[in-house]
Structure 1
Amino acid sequence: MKLLTAVAIAALSLPFGTTAFAQSSPSGLTHAEVIAQLKQAQAEGLVPTPNGDYPPSAATIAHNREIYAIQHGTDGASGVRTRGMPASHPVAASD
């Protein structure tokens, strides 16, 4: 009798458990939007960052902007604004 009750409870709970994991709406961002955001963060110098430097320091941002400018053949990423820091703000890169 206990086995029959356990099987009945398990059988009735299966349909309810599977709906808990169903995704009702998409995540909100498309793959292309995520790639565009990543490219923007690279241009702003926010990524990559070392493990111990989060949020990235001004020196890391300046270094990343310099590398981005070299890799992409731009005359400098100084026109890109970083949140909280104006584009004309001088940042000394330290190595």
Structure 2
Amino acid sequence: MKLLTSIAVTALGLVFGANAFAQTTAPELTRAEVRAQLAQAEADGLVPTHKNDYPPSATTIARNQEIYAIQHKNSPSRAMASAATPADSGGTSE
């Protein structure tokens, strides 16, 4: 009787245990994509923030946007250029 019970428990454990370890893998981001996301977050004023101000308040976001605009005044917007996709830029033609 103990043998039958242990076999049944083992069989059920294998069936349900396999589902516990089955994971769907999300596509991984490339370094360029992560850098583009970080640059976009900086342009949006979302980073940097303090530990005590998460999620960032509206005043922190506004201050970070001003600082970003001052720092990138003379340079073209890398964040906007890297965030644009072919679908976004190919809409109009003259």
Superposition TM-score, scaled by structure 1 size: 0.50
Query: 1:12-91 alignment to 2 at 5 Å?
Result: 12-13=11-12, 14-24=14-24, 26-28=25-27, 30-32=29-31, 33-69=33-69, 73-75=71-73
CA distance in 1 between counterparts of 2:49 and 2:61 reads 9
- State the AA in 1 paired with 2:7: A
Percent identity, aligned pairs only, is 51
Q: Which has the higher helix share?
A: 2
User: What is the aligned length?
Assistant: 74
Q: Aligned partners of 2:28 and 2:65: how far apart in 1?
A: 26
Who is 2:88 aligned against?
none
Aligned Cα RMSD in Å? 3.2
Tell me by how many angstroms 1:12 deviates: 0.9
Q: Say if 1:10 and 1:38 are closer, same or farther in 2 by CA, change over 3 A.
A: farther
Structure 1 stretches of 4+ moved >4 Å:
none
Contiguous gaps of at least 5 residues in structure 1: 81-95
- In the TM superposition, residue 45 of structure 1 has moved relative to its aligned partner by 0.8
Instruction: Select the structure with the greater relative contact order (CA < 8 A; seq sep ≥ 6).
Output: 2
Q: Partners of 2:48 and 2:6 in 1: how far apart?
A: 53
For residue 17 of structure 1, give the secondary structure of its aligned residue in structure 2.
helix
TM superposition score normalised by structure 2: 0.50
Provide the rounded CA distance (Å) in 1 between the counterparts of 2:47 and 2:5: 53
